[in-house]
Structure 1
Amino acid sequence: MNLYCIPYAGCSARVYDSWQRHLPDSVTVMPMELPGRGARCVAEPIDELAPLLADLYQQLDLTSPYVLFGHSYGAVIAFELAKLLRSKGDPEPAALMVSASRAPRLLGADADTHRLSDAELTKRLAELGGTPQELLENEELMEVYLPVIRADYRILGEYGTGSPGTVGCPVVAFYGDADDEADLASVEEWANFTDSAFGVEKIHGDHFFLHAAESELVAAVEAVCTKGELS
C-alpha cells in the first residue's frame, strides 16, 4: 500500500520523512512535495488549484493500491485530488484521510489571509503556531517562505464555501482534542463529502498534532492502511 501524504500550508513534504520507521514494510510512505519547497524549492509556487492538482496527479502510481493523507490545507488538496481521480475514471484511493481540517463548506475563515501584507501574514503565522520562531525572525528566509505560504492561502481563499461534491472512497477524519481551528463538530461534517463509509478519530493535541502526537497519529493511519479500520 502506497501512502501519499500532502503537507499543510507552507510546509515541505519532508515533515513525513519520519513516518516510515513507524510503519510496516507493507506500507510505503510517498510524501508529495509541492512546488516551491523542500526538494522542489527552486520551482515557482502554484497558487491555483487546477494546475496544482495536475502537478500532484503526475506523482501518483495508479498501478498499486494506495491511500491519500493530507493535514490541514493538505486535507483539502487530497480531497480535491481524490475527486479528480474519480472524474477521470482512474482507480480511487482505498481511503482518503483528512487531518486537522474543517469540512470544505466550512473553510471560509482563511478567505482573506493571502491578501495580508507581509508583516500581517507573519503575525498571523506566529499566532497559528507551526512555523518555527527562528524562521519568522529571519528576514531573508521569510522573503523565500512568504510567497510559498501566500500561494497556499490563495488557493484556500478562492476555494469557496459551496458544496464541492463528493468522493467515492471511504473517508476517515482525524481531529485534535485541543484544536481550535478544526474541532470535532467541523470535522464530522466530512461525512457529507463521501458516498462511501466515514469514520472519525481523536488525536491528542492542538492543530499541529501531526508533530506532537506523531506516533499516535501514524498508528491510526496504519490501521486504516493495513486493516481498513474506520471508527
Structure 2
Amino acid sequence: MNTPHSLISLKNVYAGYTPGKMVLKDVSMDIFPNDFIGIIGPNGGGKSTLLKAILGLLSPQKGTISYNFPNNNQNNIGYLPQINSFDKDFPIKIIDVVLSGMMNASVTKRFSKDDKEKAIYLLEKMGLKKLYNSSISNLSGGQMQRVFLCRAIINNPKVLILDEPNTFVDKNFENELYNHLLEFNTHMAILLVSHDIGTISSLVKTIACVNEQLHYHNSNKISEEILKTYNCPIELITHGKIPHRVLKNH
C-alpha cells in the first residue's frame, strides 16, 4: 500500500515575534490526509504561534513549512479562530460572513446562486438557516462560533484548523459540533487546539503537545506519565461515570 504524501510539512521550524527570541524551537511535524490531531499544551507554550506559522501568518525564522496542495495554495486550509475579539457591531449579514470564506482567491469574487445556496445549506446544518439574512450582531457567542465554522468549511478545505472551538459553544451544540467534526474528518485533515484533554482524547486520533518544542504522540491515549515525558505541564481531567479526578500539575 502506498504511503500518502503529507499535506503540510514542518521541518526544524523556529518561530517567534522578536529576532532571536523563539516561541517555537526545532518543531517538525507532518499533517496527512484524514489526520485528526489534538493540539495541547500550557498557556504561552506556543500553540497559537504554531497555528499562525501553519496558516502563513508568521514566517519561520529558521526551518521550512511546505504545502503539498495544488499550486502550493494555502487557500486549502480552513480556520476557525477564537471569536472572543470579533467586533459584533460590524455591519455584516450572517450569510455574508459565511460567503467570505470563499474570498481567499479574490477579494472581488462575485458569489453565484450556487455559492449562496451552499452557504444556506451549511447554516441549516448548524441550525441557523432562519437567521441567514440577519445581522451578525444578533447572535450569541455560540451561534457566532457556528457561523464561523460554516465559513471555515465552505471552500472544502483539505485541512481544517480549530482554535478552542468549544469556548463559546453552548452545551446543547457541543456534542453536535464534535459529530460534525467526525463527519468532516472523512474528507479533510483536522487540527484541534483544546485545553480539554478529557473530551478531545475520545475524538482525535493522535495528540501533539506544544511547549516550545512539539512532541507528537501517535495515539489518543494520554496518561500522566506521557505528559511528564513530553514536558507538558497541564492538568489532566477525566470524565465519565466516576467522579471527576484532577491530577496534580507536572
Question: Of Structure 1 and Structure 2, which has the larger fraction of its residues in helix?
Answer: 1
Q: Using structure 1 for the length normalisation, give the TM-score.
A: 0.31
Q: Using structure 2 for the length normalisation, give the TM-score.
A: 0.29
